[in-house]
Amino acid sequence: MTSRTFTRLPNIINVFLMLSLVFSGNILQRAKSLGINYGQVGNNLPSPDKVINLLRSLRITKTRIYDTNPQILTSFANSNIEIIVTIENQVLTLLQDPQQALQWVDSHIKPYIPATRITGIMVGNELYTDEDSSLIGYMMPAMINIHKALVQLGLDRYIEVSSPSSLAVLAESYPPSAGSFKPEVSSVMQQLLQFLEATKSPFWINAYPYFAYKDNPNKIPIDYVLFNRNIGMTDPNTRLHYDNMMYAQVDAVAYAAAKLGYRNLEVRVAETGWPSKGDAGEVGASPTNAATYNRNLMMRQFAGEGTPARRNSRLDVYIFALFNEDMKPGPTSEKNYGVFRPDGSLAYNLGFSTMSTTTANSESVTYSSYATKAKTTVEYWAILMLAMIQVVMSRLF
């Protein structure tokens, strides 16, 4: 037996372990690291009760909304779907006052607990960008006041408080081990990391390999950003090998946190996705690439993968987004990140045929799909098994 054969043995063993997970059903536990963002910037979206069935058709039990929509929070009661809510950026100035923060939690969160499984509060979204740094100063007082309000109302044991950052907070991200925060935000990041460690909450980032590829398609291999088989890159400092950009981005944030003294803080992905349509200059925005990115990402989530720097820690990821949103401002791509169209049809073929019923014109998810649950469950696991084998075998040869 050659040394090459020996190196393949652990991967071959992984194939059989995954097969046993599939047939035992235990893989559903690992799939709990996958969530999806439920944006509402559209004028033709389905009602929240139909959204619940869509999430179930995807076998996803976690979602995030960008506000505290009462209709959604009420509809999700007793659904057993975990939901993260968001405090809109424009509200943060109000929450500098502890009493206002207490009133906000008392009126926006407490009425829905425990029937609705609110597990997190995002305080703002991307409060620092290259274009706007005016909001980040409001972040820490608002987070501290919201957490104190949760403690006062006895809700802190259920709900984590954090704030998702864009990769604009990084001064360096390549190679991952060189990850560091920009000097202008390092003081705020130090406060944030200290708060997250004290409250046992994760650091959330929005990671979009699509943007890096769009800006430099001639130098960044498309397979590297789509999770396809590729030669990848090796970090010269750690000798860790990366076969996709998103994991490299996550580890860059982890190394940046470590440089400030927080080596064990969990990093999660609040948003990642790929647009299925874009303007003429938006290179790579297509249904094929969107399907490939999300399908490959989902397979890795079902396999319970961690990043190269944290192999033994499952990476929590929220896909952006559940729906195309026709009222979002900006380029065409911003309106076309959805896995679904507003009418409930798939925006592209994810490759999981049991999630949909094919019609002459589209692949429409059946809102009442659980009427045929016995039939589709067998088909689902068969397709999932084959897809997982494909992911693992691609690493063997």
Catalytic residues: 126, 271
User: What are residue 319's phi and psi, to 5 degrees?
Assistant: -70, 140
- Cis check for the bond before 321: say yes or no (omega within 30 of 0): yes
Cβ(355)–Cβ(373) below 8 Å: no
Beta-carbon neighbour count of residue 352 at 10 Å? 18
If you write DSSP's letter for every residue of 128-150 in order, what string do you get? --SS--SSGGGHHHHHHHHHHHH
The pair of three-digit structure tokens given for residue 18, joined into one six-digit string: 């995954």
Length of the chain: 397
DSSP letter at 307? Answer: -
Beta-carbon-side half-sphere exposure of residue 220 (alpha carbons within 13 Å): 21
Question: Which residues 6+ apart lie within 8 Å of 162 measured at CB?
Answer: 120, 121, 122, 123, 143, 196, 201, 202, 203, 204
- C-alpha to C-alpha distance for 118 and 397, rounded to whole angstroms: 43
Cα angle vertex 347, ends 67, 369, to 5°? Answer: 85
- C-alpha to C-alpha distance for 84 and 95, rounded to whole angstroms: 18
